[in-house]
Structure 1
Amino acid sequence: MMTKRLFIPALLGALALAAPARALDLTQMTETERDLFRAEVRAYLMENPQVIIEAVNAMEQRNAEAQAQADLTIVSDNAEAIFSDGFSYVGGNPDGDITLVEFMDYKCGYCKRAYTEVEKLLSADGNIRFIVKEFPILGEQSMLASRYVIAAKQIAGGDAYKALHDALMVFNGDITLPALARLSSTYGLDDDAIRARMGSEEVTREIAETRALAQTLRITGTPTFVVEDEMVRGYLPFDQMQMIVDDKRDEG
């Protein structure tokens, strides 16, 4: 069903098509003229209902284009924080010609779906630099997981981070300290050291800086991707992701 917010601009567009320009100033009409005008418009729209749909589609297209242009600007203005913050994990091909950034949350179902698509893309392409932004927004378990993997990265490096990240992206149970301890044991990591680091200022700073960046970029959900200069909000299947990457290469 069309919302009132969408219907009103669409109806105004339809009015412009349905009535002569001089009749659009409703404040200059008498009550009789206004009633006649309303009747004419109603009759026109009943005979041509596609006008409203066309107006809504045109408005949505303009809004999408405006959003895309705003995203281009905001990505450009914050490029250093997005692509070179100095702490986010960098994987894939670090020297790749295309950079893909993902803001993600370990409790996000769509992030878990996107994980498979992203891994497929990185494997199939081989020339993509992939940056992970820890953006825990779905509760205490999300925050616990992010603190854990960031602490592990700071202590044991990027390979340990990637192993834990992959494991948590396919993990469907509750994220608890005992569950994380089992992961540490699986990958031969010092769980006591990681746990001691999780509440540190260094870990808190990474999360806070990424959260501030997300707010600047007007990111409110996960997953959200940045592909070079373009922001993509939400889950995308592999073929659409590959299409965007190919388009970026063509533009380059």
Structure 2
Amino acid sequence: MSRIPPPSARRPRRLAVPLLLAAISLAAAPGLPASPAAAQALTPEQRREVVQVMREALRQDPSILRDAFAALEEAARQQASEGRAGAIRAEAGALFRDPADPVKGNPRGDVTLVEFFDARCGYCKALHPTLEALLRADPGVRIVMKDLPILGPASVLASRALLAAQRQDRYVELQAALMKLRGEPTEATLQAEAKKLGLDWARLRRDMEDPAIERRLQEHLRLARALSIEGTPALVIGETLVPGAVDLPTLQRLVAEARKG
């Protein structure tokens, strides 16, 4: 997966250590206070006793620490999954029903899949034929395309060209060409590919500079951040976020689950 550069500031995860200590103390000695607040209320002597009990428990059974970490990680995954589902519901209109977005497959399909992709992303290129196979196998699937150029200026150039090509009804064709491209999407390369598809290059080049295209790209980036998308490709199916490239059976299973509602 190609990664989105992180924002300049991140909120530190300050709760992991006290939660871990509480989980270990609970596992090591069930009679001890289990919550961080209760642990903080202990006297210095009680804290020393807790530490001694924890050390002895870990010495006798090191798996306690492993199990505590596993429990914390599972709780974090569950919380993140629930948060993403809530974000998907909150952003459903912008995700699934923005009339400005290009669509592949059946425009009236009963299942919509949203793809965030970068035209230069190798993982996106690897996923492309799988998505095409999904469309061939399932005529009820609708794919909404969200350009997310995270790999530098060349990616931005390619995304601008794609959104400009949409104005000449050639988005899908140019996107397919760029997914097969092995070199960089330079301006000369984009011009050559555009001409192969019968696009008016002079018009396309002018449209690439339209501020409306920049606003759309910024909106896609906002959506990605709202959904905690960390890179490309990223797929949204129903209320499920699928990071990275996946195989056809996985996609078909997720589509079937979304279809059941």
What is the TM-score of this pair, normalised by structure 1? Answer: 0.87
Aligned to 1:99, what secondary structure does the other structure show?
A: strand
1:80 Cα shift?
1.1
Aligned to 1:166, what secondary structure does the other structure show?
A: helix
Distance 1:30 1:207, change over 3 A: closer
Distance 1:43 1:90, change over 3 A: same
Check the 8 A contact 2:147/2:159 in 1, yes or no. Answer: yes
Check the 8 A contact 1:105/1:222 in 2, yes or no. Answer: yes
Distance 1:193 1:127, change over 3 A: same
Match of 1:140 in 2: 153
Q: What is the distance in 2 between the residues matched to 1:178 and 1:94?
A: 32
Match of 1:151 among 164, 172, 181: 164
Aligned length: 245
Kindly provide the CA deviation profile for residues 75-106 of structure 1, in whole angstroms up to 9, marking residues without a partner as x: 11111111111111111111211100011111
Match of 2:180 in 1: 170
Check the 8 A contact 1:7/1:56 in 2, yes or no. Answer: no
Match of 1:53 in 2: 66
Distance 1:113 1:8, change over 3 A: farther
Check the 8 A contact 1:91/1:130 in 2, yes or no. Answer: yes
Match of 2:254 among 208, 223, 244: 244
1:62 Cα shift?
1.6
Residue identity in the other structure for 1:175: P
Match of 2:202 among 192, 199, 215: 192
Aligned to 2:232, what secondary structure does the other structure show?
A: coil
Q: Which moved more, 1:50-59 or 1:87-96?
A: 50-59
1:88 aligns with 2:101: yes
What's the RMSD between the two structures over aligned residues?
A: 2.4
* Counterparts of residues 1-252 of structure 1 (less than 5 Å): 9-22=19-32, 25=39, 28-29=42-43, 31=45, 34-154=47-167, 156-157=168-169, 160-250=170-260, 252=261
Aligned to 2:214, what secondary structure does the other structure show?
A: helix
Q: What is the distance in 1 between the residues matched to 2:194 and 2:31?
A: 72
Structure (1 or 2) with the greater helix fraction: 1
1:69 Cα shift?
1.4
What is the TM-score of this pair, normalised by structure 2? Answer: 0.84
Residue identity in the other structure for 1:234: G
1:139 Cα shift?
0.6
Distance 1:28 1:219, change over 3 A: closer
Check the 8 A contact 1:11/1:52 in 2, yes or no. Answer: no
Q: Which moved more, 1:95-104 or 1:216-225?
A: 216-225
More RCO (CA 8 Å, sep 6+): 2
Q: What is the distance in 1 between the residues matched to 2:108 and 2:77?
A: 32
Seq. identity, %: 33
Structure 1 segments unaligned to the other structure (5+ residues): none
Distance 1:223 1:23, change over 3 A: closer
Q: What is the distance in 2 between the residues matched to 1:145 and 1:28?
A: 60
Q: What is the distance in 2 between the residues matched to 1:23 and 1:214?
A: 40
Q: What is the distance in 2 between the residues matched to 1:119 and 1:181?
A: 25
1:201 Cα shift?
2.5
Check the 8 A contact 1:6/1:56 in 2, yes or no. Answer: no
Structure 2 segments unaligned to the other structure (5+ residues): 1-13
